[in-house]
Amino acid sequence: MRRTELFFSRRIRQTGAIPGDSRFRRASMLLCSLLMLMLSACNSISPKETTVSEKGESNFKTELPKKVQEFATPDRLKALDTQEVFQYRLGPGDMISIQVWRRPELSQEGILVSPDGFLSVPRIGNVQVLGMTVAEVKALVTSKLEFFYIEPEVTIRVQQFHNNKAFVLGRVSKPGVVNFPGKGTLLEALALAGGIPDQNKDTSLTKCAIIRGNDIIIWIDLQDLLRNGNMALNAPVRNNDVIYIPESSDEMVYVLGEVQTPGAIQIRSGMTVLKAVMLAGGINKNADPEKVFVIRQQTLKGDVIRVNLKSLLEKGDFSQNFNLMANDIVYVSPGGMTKLNYSIEKILPSMQILNLGVGQSSFIYGTP
């Protein structure tokens, strides 16, 4: 700004104008106009709305918007559950009981399946049972005992189940390993992990992931499952599945522009544009309530839509009070007078070199 003042002062002296005459006033007003244009060109951010289709369709809706990642539908969950009839399969840590009728020397309880899947059976030795059902193990043990006994009657019972498990991680009360005595489900896994802590009205509860194997990730809409009671989303859990619930603090929206306290806000239940603006302290006196923009990244190129808060407040038009998603940006634009005041504030230091007369100076500086 100092360089600007020296430049304009030098230019005025080159014109030969004397302070107080008409040429000086014309030169001063011309330079002020140029400064106004230069500063107005350096105004604040001005988002451009995303072009919508002729039908007026938009990705922004007043109901809960479509998520960036696709949630699994009930049909997809059925397609992933290929096991028509659940059959428990033995694995490391399971405890087995073997009873042979009228053969107490062969009967034994508390036999553990070794980490490599072997079962130590009296008279027979080690038998590989990893991934086998109880019926298959019974047939195998019976066939081996037939070399020593005539028609042995074998009964096998699982005393402790440890091979039907899931790993529950993230936002649960007791993260860790949970075991199922039968066919496990997502709700059963969450219950065995102690449930979800701090589940109140301000808690954002939206999704969880079921990681199966090396190439399958199933996203479940927890809000639809738990709050709307859509039990079709209660996905079956297989052995060694990983269930992950993201922390609510990981999901933020960002409020910028002419608000009292701009910054990042943690998403809460039912986070709308109006709620986000109010959590940022509301709009300040410099804001233009007719030009509030929501920027959302659906793909590499985001979408921008304009929200008229003035119409919402004056007419009760809540059609644009959109539900926000994680990483949405809410920008409140400054008003036209704000830009003019900003330009005047930048011009005033330069006006000190322009003596426009007593009347003009009194108007600009407010002196009597």
**Nearest-angstrom CA–CA distance, 98 and 124:** 12
For residue 114, give both structure tokens: 């070794």
237 vs 207, more confident = 237
Q: Is residue 323 within 8 Å of residue 272, measured between CB atoms?
A: yes
> What contacts 24+ positions apart, CB below 8 Å, involve 301-305?
302/50, 303/50, 303/58, 303/59, 303/60, 304/47, 304/48, 304/49, 304/50, 305/49, 305/50, 305/58, 305/60
d(CA 261, CA 255): 8
| Mean pLDDT computed over 333-356 | 59
Bridge partner list, 306: 293
Six token digits for residue 103: 């053969």
Residue 203 near residue 267 (C-beta atoms within 8 A): no
- Give 71's pLDDT tier (boundaries 50, 70, 90): confident
266 close to 248: Cβ distance less than 8 angstroms: yes
Query: Looking at residue 56, what is its pLDDT?
Result: 45
Closest of 123, 122, 121, 134 to residue 91, by C-alpha: 134
Q: Which has the higher per-residue pLDDT, 183 or 81?
A: 183
Cross-strand pairs, 119 = 127
Indicate the pTM of the whole model: 0.59
Q: What is the pLDDT of residue 174?
A: 92
DSSP category for residue 173: S
| Model confidence at 198: pLDDT above 80 | no
Of 221-235, 259-273, 275-289, 326-340, minimum mean pLDDT range: 326-340
- In this predicted structure, which of 67-71, 123-127, 138-142, 148-152 has the lowest mean pLDDT? 67-71
Q: What average pLDDT does the chain have?
A: 78
First and final C-alpha spacing in the chain = 27
Q: Provide the pLDDT for residue 67.
A: 42
* DSSP assignment letter at 226: I
Supply the pLDDT for residue 368.
44
pLDDT tens string 267-277:
876 788 999 99
CA distance 36 to 346: 9
pLDDT digits 0-9 by tens, 149-162: 999 999 999 999 88
